[in-house]
């Protein structure tokens, strides 16, 4: 499983904090069981938000090739050793 990105961690954490505060403020509860339900719901919502944040994709590296690279080379030419350069002798 890939590691979460910084954006995923940030969005998930902010969602947990703000949703928990909003649900606690709106419910006005003081019982421990309802606070636990709200906490679990906030964490589940935070995980859902963190998992739906789009992950940046790596772009493939494109290597530029010249037209000369695409021509097939015969095996005899590729395996042959280069011949030494001979310069013409003086007259």
**For 3-23, how does the pLDDT look when each residue is reduced to its tens digit (9 = 90+)?**
888 888 999 999 999 999 999
Q: Which run of H or of E encompasses 19?
A: helix 6-27
Q: Is the four-CA dihedral 2, 19, 45, 33 of positive or negative sign?
A: positive
pTM over 0.75: no
- B/e letters for 18-35, b = 16+ CB within 10 Å, e = fewer, are ebbeebbeeeeeeeeeee
Q: What is the pLDDT of residue 12?
A: 92
pLDDT of residue 38: 93
């Amino acid at each position: 499983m890939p590691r979460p990105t910084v954006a995923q961690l940030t969005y998930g954490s902010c969602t947990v904090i703000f949703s928990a505060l909003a649900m606690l403020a709106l419910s006005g509860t003081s019982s421990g069981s309802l606070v636990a339900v709200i906490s679990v719901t906030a964490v589940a919502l935070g995980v859902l938000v963190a998992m739906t944040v789009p992950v940046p994709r790596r772009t493939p590296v494109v290597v530029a090739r010249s037209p000369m690279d695409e021509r097939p080379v015969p095996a005899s030419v590729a395996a042959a050793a280069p011949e030494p350069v001979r310069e013409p002798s003086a007259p």
